[in-house]
């Protein structure tokens, strides 16, 4: 399931080497509610490999301001505490998956022949 992210638990959530997807949303936002099931599916698909969290912008205004959220839904993807993708509006689930998968792919090392 998705993790509720608040000002109180934010620092502990980002202290990880795992990628983090944060869904900034509000209960009154119809597109946000449409995106909710997709976020739950992503959380189920990626399990412990990626943290999928939600920030209610009405309840967590300080976090929304910290990330300069101007419109919702807004999906921020972090790796090593850095924003690697910022997606505003509802997108196909495959677009979120592509971004997340790119963060999970192992870095291949090239070995030169001697």
Question: Can you spell out the DSSP letters for the chain?
Answer: -PEE--TTTHHHHHSSSS-EEEEEE-TT-HHHHHHHHHHHHHHHHHGGGSEEEEEETTT-HHHHHHTT--SSSEEEEEETTEEEEEEES---HHHHHHHHHHHHSPPPPP----
Active-site residue, selected from the candidate residues 5, 20, 22, 32? 32
Task: Say yes or no to pLDDT of 107 above 90.
Answer: no
2 is catalytic: no
Residue 114 lies inside a defined structural domain of this protein: no
Close Cβ partners of 93 (under 8 Å, ≥ 6 residues apart): 38, 41, 42
Pull the structure tokens for residue 10: 């934010």
CB-CB contact of 19 with 82 (8 Å): no
- Give the pLDDT confidence score for residue 104 in this predicted structure: 87
Pull the structure tokens for residue 66: 């910290």
Residue 83 lies inside a defined structural domain of this protein: yes
- Give the pLDDT confidence score for residue 1 in this predicted structure: 78
- Give the pLDDT confidence score for residue 111 in this predicted structure: 55
pLDDT 10s digits, 12-58:
999 999 999 999 999 999 999 999 999 999 999 999 999 999 999 99
29 is catalytic: yes
Residue 112 lies inside a defined structural domain of this protein: no
Number of domains in the chain: 1
Residue 110 lies inside a defined structural domain of this protein: no
Residue 29 lies inside a defined structural domain of this protein: yes
Active-site residue, selected from the candidate residues 13, 14, 26, 29? 29
Residue 33 lies inside a defined structural domain of this protein: yes
Q: β-pairing, 51-56 with 82-88?
A: unpaired
Global confidence as pTM:
0.87
Provide the CATH number for the domain around residue 19: 3.40.30.10
Residue 67 lies inside a defined structural domain of this protein: yes
Which range of residues forms the domain containing residue 78? 3-104
pLDDT 10s digits, 69-105:
999 999 999 999 999 999 999 998 899 999 999 988 6
């Amino acid at each position: 399931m998705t993790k509720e992210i608040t000002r109180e638990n934010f620092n502990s959530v980002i202290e990880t080497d795992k990628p983090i997807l944060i869904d900034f949303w509000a209960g009154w936002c119809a597109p946000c509610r449409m995106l909710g099931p997709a976020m739950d599916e992503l959380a189920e698909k990626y399990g412990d490999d990626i943290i999928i969290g939600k920030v209610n912008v009405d309840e967590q205004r300080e976090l929304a301001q910290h990330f300069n959220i101007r419109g919702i839904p807004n999906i921020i993807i972090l790796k090593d505490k850095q924003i690697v993708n910022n997606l505003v509006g509802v997108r196909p689930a495959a677009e979120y998956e592509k971004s997340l998968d790119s963060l999970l792919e192992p870095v291949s090392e090239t070995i030169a022949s001697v």
